[in-house]
Amino acid sequence: MCAATSLPYRRIFLTGFSGTGKSTVAELVAKELGWRALDTDTLIEEAAALPVSEIFAEHGEERFREMERHAVERAAKERDAVIATGGGAIVAIENRRAMAKDALVVALDARPQTIVDRLRSNEGTSERPLLQGPDPLARIIELKAAREHVYALADTIVETEGKTAREVAQAVVEAVRGAGEWASRHPERLLLPSEREAPPSTAPVRVDAPSREYEVHAGWGLLDRLGELLRDQGLSGAAHVVSDTNVLSRHGDRALLSLRRAGFDAEAFAIEAGEEHKRLETAARVYDWLVSRRAERGQAIVALGGGVVGDLAGFVAATYLRGMPLVQAPTTLLAMGDAAIGGKTAVDHREGKNLIGAFYQPRLVVEDVSALKTLPHRLLIEGFAEVIKHALILDAQLLDDLESHVDDLLHIEPATTVDVLRRSVAIKASIVAQDERETTGLRALLNYGHTTGHAIEAAAAYAIGHGAADAIGMMAAAEIGRRAGVTTQHVIDRQRAVLERFGLPLRARDAGLSLDADAVLDAMTLDKKVTDGTIRWVLVEDAGRAVLRSDVSMDIVRDVVREVLA
């Protein structure tokens, strides 16, 4: 049995769509913790002396939601309880305020088809309102998509797909054990940014690149407005969504539904997930799909996914029919803060990363911060490598704020994360506007840590994530800077501390890698930043101030690379 008495909260709320197993899991988790299990639907039925289906039929949904608020309020006063809530309970702000106090909120998730199958397999399906009507699956897709950004406010999301109830319950218990005290200290965490007293700015960040001006929209729940935002840019007709197998299964319904509501003929194509699939062969498969769709030059290609999808779909958009409108809809922090902005598109060659590509600015970038709540923890922390990089090279105040809000950002606290992301985006936008194609050297500052980082990725056959490799690369660049007389020890210590606090590796061994130094050094010679055989190094003089140097001794580089790989 879990030592529940040591927990910093006295109850656990389970939320999520109907059919995700909340009631069953609540019983199992309560047994494990030695607590009681409650169900708000049961509390409602006891108070009304009617089943939920009859409350809906006789009194309507408004009356049911009123009774639900009373049930949640009552449950929020219980101690040592695991409480299963109705699928729509978390939508009401009053319920979220009640649930947030001294409680951990866990959302259970499943795909719409799985939900339909589960609801049909249970007894009493004739009483299930969701299964009434000609197309229950379409209804569930639409309703679930409308709630996703609110479910994402939960402290933890547990995927139930392919798991037994006991396996889900064990995952919830593990989340309980590892949750710490953050949730208990942030009762406002379940509020949407728009519901805060001082919500973060929702104005788009403009990228005034010479070849194209466009907007970057960063906020909570923006996938639900994807179609509307495309239409506002004058796009219409068909929308061709390129994603990967992981992202499409989780966010594809929301994106496609939003596009279709806005009048687009929207369909999706999924590539296999992973850097190893960012190849010309994969691009050729996307070309074949576009041909089968009879894609036209004025129709949009929507890149829904992380950096791999954004790079590959961008390359396809730049080259198919000599250029189609590109919309970036990144779903990882790495892509939101960096890769989706600035027009760099590419595929990899077996000899190096991003060797085949083009500068091609998007028509629009839509960044839904709520999508970050579905990321594996490793991918989330890797994304912070790019945000930290932006702060180190150009914004000392942002570095201060990153250091001050590590816990909030790692928990994807909505207001803080939206604010920090927008500021990181603004840094990238400013540089792209001044140096779109890396001709003046300013944009090259964004490559801080990338020279070694990309070489590590290539030498490791991409067995390490981009953000993790760049974190190691930043430590290498900092030490190279120190030996070249540019970077102070204070800056190195500060950089090391913030990378460690975000859980990023400092050396290859921290990422479980054993690499040959000569292989990494050879990969550096193929880097795009090499000119006439000389590597241009981005080095940090002080927090928020970086310089380019081409006079760094290769002896220093070899020594430092061997050290970070040791």
Contacts of 290 (CB under 8 A, 6+ apart): 240, 301, 316, 320
Answer yes or no: 349 catalytic. Answer: no
Question: What is the rounded CA–CA span in Å between residue 429 and residue 186?
Answer: 32
| Amino acid type, 391 | A
Catalytic residue among 466, 482, 494, 529: 466
Answer yes or no: 438 catalytic. Answer: yes
Residue with tokens 């519901």, as numbered in its chain: 195
Helix 245-261 to helix 136-151 angle (10° resolution) is 100
Answer yes or no: 466 catalytic. Answer: yes
Angle, CA 171 vertex, CA 384 and CA 501 arms, to 5° = 25
Answer yes or no: 443 catalytic. Answer: yes
Catalytic residue among 10, 363, 389, 450: 450
Catalytic residue among 386, 436, 457, 479: 386
Answer yes or no: 377 catalytic. Answer: no
**Tokens at residue 128, please?**
């299930």
Question: What is the rounded CA–CA span in Å between residue 177 and residue 468?
Answer: 26
Say if CB 502 and CB 468 are below 8 A apart. Answer: no
Catalytic residue among 68, 144, 447, 457: 447
Answer yes or no: 386 catalytic. Answer: yes
Catalytic residue among 344, 373, 482, 528: 344
List the beta bridge partners of residue 538: 548
Answer yes or no: 322 catalytic. Answer: yes
Reported in sequence order, the residue ranges of 220-309 that DSSP labels E, i.e. its strands, are: 238-244, 265-271, 300-305
Answer yes or no: 447 catalytic. Answer: yes
Q: Output DSSP code: residue 228.
A: H
Catalytic residue among 438, 479, 494, 529: 438
Pairing of strands 352-359, 344-349: antiparallel
Q: List the one residue out of 526, 527, 536 whose CA is nearest residue 445.
A: 536
Catalytic residue among 62, 123, 197, 322: 322
Q: List the one residue out of 248, 189, 245 whose CA is nearest residue 220.
A: 189
Catalytic residue among 443, 528, 529, 536: 443
Q: Which residues carry out catalysis?
A: 322, 344, 386, 428, 438, 443, 447, 450, 454, 466
